[in-house]
């Protein structure tokens, strides 16, 4: 595995390293990282599972999305119920947090399906070197 910080990392790029000998190491490293970032699917995990078709994987995908959705609603209901119990605002806490949980569930599902656009800042941060 190429080390992100070490100069030895670029030596592992294979046969191309001899061809690109004129280009400086950092430049090559930076360009490689940019290419990786642009080639990478919008999500980190799900891209691997989603591209592989098959009944078992489809089942897994369905299971994952539904569990994400239900978990967020359950957490929303839990928070709302606790707020109601502590503040005595029944039933408003439950209503508000159920709806918020619903929103969070949608966000979870979209995020886990890789449909939420990753912001430019996050992209830069991810592709940048670890400090």
Partner 1 sequence: MAADKVDPIHQFHINTIVPIHVGGYDLSFTNSALFMVVVVLLASGFLVFSTAGRALVPTRLQSISEMTYEFVASMLRDAAGNQGMRFFPFVFTIFMFVMVANLLGLFPYFFTVTSHIIVTFALSMLVILTVVFYGLAKHGLGFFKLFVPSGVPLILMPLVIAIEVISFLSRPVSLSVRLFANMLAGHITLKVFAGFVVSLGALGAVGIAGAILPLAMAVAITALELLVAALQAYVFAILTCMYLNDALHPSH
Q: List interacting residues with partner 1 (CB under 8 A).
A: 1, 3-5, 44-45, 56, 60, 63-64, 67-68, 70-72, 74-76, 79, 97, 100-101, 103-105, 107-108, 111, 119, 121-122, 125-126, 130
Closest distance to partner 1 from the beta carbon of 24 (Å): 22
Residue with tokens 């940019």: 34
Pairwise CA distance, residues 70 & 78, whole Å: 12
Closest distance to partner 1 from the beta carbon of 17 (Å): 21
What is the DSSP-derived secondary structure letter of residue 14?
T
Identify which of 121, 42, 36, 124 has the alpha carbon closest to the alpha carbon of residue 28: 36
Closest distance to partner 1 from the beta carbon of 41 (Å): 12
Pairwise CA distance, residues 56 & 15, whole Å: 39
Given the complex with partner 1, which of 70 and 115 has the nearer CB atom? 70
The residues, ordered by sequence, that sit 6+ positions from 30 with a Cβ below 8 Å of its Cβ are: none
Given the complex with partner 1, which of 28 and 83 has the nearer CB atom? 83
Closest distance to partner 1 from the beta carbon of 87 (Å): 16
């Amino acid at each position: 595995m190429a080390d992100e910080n070490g100069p030895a990392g670029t030596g592992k790029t294979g046969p191309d390293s001899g061809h690109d000998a004129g280009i400086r190491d950092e430049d090559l490293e930076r360009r490689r990282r940019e290419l990786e970032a642009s080639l990478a699917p919008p999500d980190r995990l799900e891209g691997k599972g989603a591209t592989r078709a098959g009944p078992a994987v489809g089942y897994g995908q369905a299971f994952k999305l539904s569990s994400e959705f239900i978990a967020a609603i359950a957490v929303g209901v839990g928070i709302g119920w606790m707020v109601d119990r502590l503040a005595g605002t029944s039933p408003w806490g439950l209503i508000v947090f159920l709806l918020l949980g619903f929103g969070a569930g949608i966000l979870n599902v979209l995020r886990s399906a890789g449909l939420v656009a990753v912001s430019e800042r996050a992209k830069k941060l991810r592709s940048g070197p670890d400090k």
